[in-house]
Structure 1
């Protein structure tokens, strides 16, 4: 087992993790890593990412609002990982936001727009979280992401289809849900079993143990409940069922959004 990082949480090798859970070689190890945000990684952590893990590409799936909030809370700017290409993908993009706004009642929509126009961006997002995201829960978030984040999913998986990108570190804020959904799609494509993918996802519960309280506070600030800090049992099965119902399975889904399925499988299959 590798030595834990000093200030980088929820870090793991996706290939090593899934191979262990499925008890067979599903995915190449030392290729795709996942973590929570690396903003507070120490100099020692960064050196390990560069020298021990050889990270060549960092995929950051956070929203513009998350970057703005982090910048306000920090005394110094976040420094990109030296020697690695950092790609920012606003995973919760405009299509997703519009879809959520359509679920607001007219008065809540007016309040949201007024807050947004007056530049109370985080307060507006909190309203959206309370009224729309929280009632739908994590399964609803996954469903909406599959429907409304397709260009972002394609962009992410296009990077993962390119052998020159690796090794890759992929993260969002917690490294659990957006990062987790991308990992689920990759692992299901590689024919990992649903129980094994679920266990890989659930590793985030332990991986976030040291920062869970602060993560819950951040969720409450954007209108979400503490349940969003969890790794609900059966979530991967629900995602697989959505993929089968809507697109005939993960391969049909990925092909429909423009992912090079053959290339992605060829790069990562064990």
Structure 2
């Protein structure tokens, strides 16, 4: 049974992180204690918390490989929701024992079709029914899958290539289909011809532009108090997780220097799995070495881009559908200010579709099809 409040050791460490200064040295000192706490979940650390409250947000690499001993430590955090920036297909294809499937109900987020979210619009989710032991889960904890690389994202990158590369790509797609290699050869072609030339900052800018519904859905889920404490993760907890984490910290008033320093902590957090990252990113998809780095300057460049394109982070969040009231609500959960809620703002997750028995057998993946 999960404790009603976080373990005292975790609570003390969280408070120390919340009180730490803006300097990177102070941040590293307080967060370093977390890196070794979960040996099988690299890059695990707190992102933010509200002192004197169990509300907190953590971040990590994929928790699919969590061991039994680490599961007990993980449960001390009393994490109520996992906000996972992978599609259902990517999640189900990942290796590991997936012990958390025995602890959390698994859902994937259904985006609005053909548009961004509206301000105060609820997030619709659908239960993933192809997971064993769903009926035996005793808690109400939730694991949300949010696809970052939708058809819209892929289409935009595809159209950036010269016509002959697009033609070649159809041949590579056929090879992947026949050989059952996923999208390996297809992605390799675009990595060599498009992605590597723009680098990691180019990919981050693409996510800011073409993954707006994914980012907005995550922020809306975090603004629902019942989803806290929450864990943010993707494959390595660096890129997709790093961007959303940066936006959360900015919403909470942290400086760009602090946010960039926090992002760069993934360099140390992923040190134990650097070989695995190289294999999964560089060797498998032929991405350049830059894509497995986590440098503060990358996050500074991204914030400069957001400011130039949207005026401010707040302006960007408003644009993608995470309005000022929702931003205030997120701050109220994680800071000391109190924002009253109107009766129709008490929740922002629509689970009615997920619990409809007629939908329990569906294995479709509208995450990508919605584009």
Give the structure-2-normalised TM-score: 0.65
Q: Which residue of 1 aligns with 2:101?
A: 80
Aligned equivalent of 2:219, options 157, 161, 175: 157
Q: Which residue of 1 aligns with 2:355?
A: none
Which ranges in structure 1 are unaligned for 5 or more consecutive residues?
Answer: 17-24
Q: CA deviation at 1:114?
A: 3.0
Aligned equivalent of 1:148, options 185, 197, 210: 210
Counterpart-to-counterpart distance in 2, 1:31 and 1:233: 23
Counterpart-to-counterpart distance in 1, 2:301 and 2:60: 23
| Comparing 225-234 and 174-183, the one that deviates more | 225-234
Give the structure-1-normalised TM-score: 0.87
**2:252–2:331 contact (8 Å) kept in structure 1:** yes
1:35 aligns with 2:68: no
Q: CA deviation at 1:65?
A: 5.8
**2:46–2:58 contact (8 Å) kept in structure 1:** yes
Q: CA deviation at 1:60?
A: 1.1
Q: What's the secondary structure of 2:185's corresponding residue?
A: helix
What does residue range 24-173 of structure 1 map to in structure 2 within 5 Å? Answer: 31-50=56-75, 52-63=76-87, 66-67=90-91, 69-71=93-95, 79-80=100-101, 82=103, 83=139, 84-118=141-175, 119=177, 120=181, 121-173=183-235
Q: CA RMSD in A?
A: 2.3
1:11 aligns with 2:33: no
**2:146–2:214 contact (8 Å) kept in structure 1:** yes
Distance 1:170 1:248, change over 3 A: same
Q: CA deviation at 1:125?
A: 1.9
Q: Which has the larger radius of gyration?
A: 2
Q: What's the secondary structure of 1:86's corresponding residue?
A: strand
After superposition, give the CA deviation of every residue in 1:31-73 in whole Å (9 maximum; x if it has no partner).
Answer: 10000011111011122222x10111011112456436525xx
1:238 aligns with 2:301: yes
**2:42–2:270 contact (8 Å) kept in structure 1:** yes
Q: CA deviation at 1:117?
A: 4.2
Counterpart-to-counterpart distance in 1, 2:149 and 2:174: 20
Counterpart-to-counterpart distance in 2, 1:210 and 1:77: 20
- For this pair of structures, how many residues does the alignment match? 258
Q: CA deviation at 1:253?
A: 0.4
Which ranges in structure 2 are unaligned for 5 or more consecutive residues?
Answer: 1-32, 104-138, 337-371
Q: CA deviation at 1:109?
A: 1.1
1:206 aligns with 2:272: no
Q: CA deviation at 1:30?
A: 5.3
Q: Which residue of 2 aligns with 1:20?
A: none
Counterpart-to-counterpart distance in 2, 1:78 and 1:100: 35
